[in-house]
Structure 1
Amino acid sequence: MASSKSRLSRSAWVDAAAVALRTVGPAAVSVEPLARSLGATKGSFYWHFSNRDELLRAALEAWESADTVGIIAAIDDSASSSTDKVRKLIAIVLGTGTGRGELEMLFGADHPEVRAVLGRVTKARIGYIEKLLGDSGFSPAIAKRRALLAYSVYLGQAQLEFGAPEVLPKTAASRRALENEFTDILIGSRLR
């Protein structure tokens, strides 16, 4: 008996898995729930992927491409000075929210695929911040320390969004004030 459920493209599966990864975390990249949400069969999944790890790897690569490589490229294309790029980066990462998925990836880093991509993403993000700070006039040592601190603030923001959202700014004006304060702290005095 033929099923009314259709076979989806590989990219449809990857897109759905990437959304699950961003919103819930690696555990949400699971064949049966994704098939149900897509209105597809597991056979459609196995047409494109040999197993769940292959789909997880593709979803992680899509996340890395969009949420790290894509953001860096957009910032580099849209802002002229390194200080403007720092401001734009802070506005993006503090203004849009990270979602539970990114935090769950930290907790899911015991999975080899997650750990590998998370390591690359973390190094790329910290390295980009370090480069922007160096281009803004900070010494290499200070740029490195501040980049690590900035990324730590980002991860703390993710934790607060998930565990205590009530302590975060509620209005656009208060979020902008927080972004401005963080920017001032991050790119303030270059003499220390």
Structure 2
Amino acid sequence: MSSVSPSSAAPARAPDLTPQDWLEAGQSLLRRGGLRALKLRPLSEELRVSTGSFYHHFADFDAYQGQLARYFAEAQLTGLIEALERAAPDPIDRIRLLGQTVRRRGSSRLAIAMRAWAESDPRARAAVERHDSLMLDFLARCLTDAGFERNDAEVRAYGLITLGLSKVHAPHLDMETLFDRLLAIMTHRAPVE
């Protein structure tokens, strides 16, 4: 009697996918490999489906890229901002929660990849500009709510955003500690004379 080993199971097929699933998968590829990683076959492999299922949601890859760019700047970001505003009544706590969310999601790597893409695609450029406008406004509103004048709040907001986009190699610095310390600096008031 011969023994037969069960064959290794094929990867589980992804459940019915939504356009958002495809957009999230595209962002995952952008985070890991930039625009050169954003191709149909790797995208399908990421979701464990055939390339044909892509066309149930998108007319072509160009249309997909346009939706991916808009997703970065609109639905995803506005949803995050609304969630932060509900989650933390204190404006500085909202900024701190944003920093934690950015680190957990790898949003800085995505923002850097989007900026590289924006160099060659006007849709990505418009998305990055919209993203920055929404994020700067959110941070400036938080800082204004914390008592800073609007002009000062905008400069401080810009400083906080640039930290998230920093590619400086500093292995001795823990990003969470660095963010918390820079947030303390950005929200500190000079003594009144």
CA distance in 2, matches of 1:6, 1:128: 36
Question: Aligned partners of 2:177, 2:48: CA distance in 1, in Å?
Answer: 44
Q: Distance in 2 between matches of 1:8 and 1:96?
A: 24
- Structure 1 position 124, deviation (Å): 0.5
Moved more, 72-81 or 95-104: 95-104
Q: 2:9 — aligned with what?
A: none
CA contact (8 A) 2:74 2:131 kept: no
Q: CA deviation at 1:185?
A: 0.7
Q: Residue 68 of structure 1 aligns with which residue? A: 77
Give a deviation string over 1:13-35, Cα, whole Å, max 9, x none: 33322322343333332112223
Number of residue pairs aligned between Structure 1 and Structure 2: 178
Aligned with 1:108: secondary structure? helix
TM-score by length of 2: 0.75
**1:26 touches 1:104 (CA, 8 Å); kept in 2?**
yes
Structure 1 residue 187 corresponds to structure 2 residue 187? yes
Q: Deviation at 1:67?
A: 5.0
> Quick one: which amino acid aligns to residue 50 of structure 1?
A
Between the aligned partners of 1:149 and 1:185, the Cα distance in structure 2 is: 10
Structure 1 residue ranges without an equivalent (≥5): 170-174
Q: Distance in 2 between matches of 1:33 and 1:177?
A: 35
How far residue 94 of structure 1 moved from its aligned partner, in angstroms, is: 5.0
Mapped contact 1:90–1:183 kept (Cα < 8 A):
no
Match for residue 140 of structure 1? 150
Is 1:41 the counterpart of 2:50? The answer is yes
CA distance in 2, matches of 1:10, 1:67: 15
Residue aligned with 1:166, SS: coil
Q: Secondary structure at the match of 2:165?
A: helix
Between 1 and 2, higher relative CO (CA 8 Å, sep ≥ 6) is seen in: 1
Partner of 2:65: 56
Within 2, Cα distance between the matches of 1:14 and 1:155? 22
Give, as a single letter, the amino acid of the residue that structure 2 aligns with 1:30: K
Residue 168 (structure 1) aligned to one of 158, 168, 173: 173
Structure 2 distance, partners of 1:80, 1:45, is 41
CA contact (8 A) 1:22 1:63 kept: no
1:177 corresponding residue in structure 2:
177
Q: Identity rate of aligned residues, in percent?
A: 25
Normalised by the length of structure 1, the TM-score is 0.76
User: What's the C-alpha RMSD, in Å, of the aligned pairs?
Assistant: 2.9
Cα distance in 2 for partners of 1:57, 1:50 equals: 11
Counterpart of 2:159 (choices 149, 170, 180) is 149
Q: Taking structure 1 as reference, are residues 167 and 64 closer, same or farther at Cα in structure 2, changes over 3 Å only?
A: farther
Distance of 2:102 and 2:48 partners within structure 1: 33
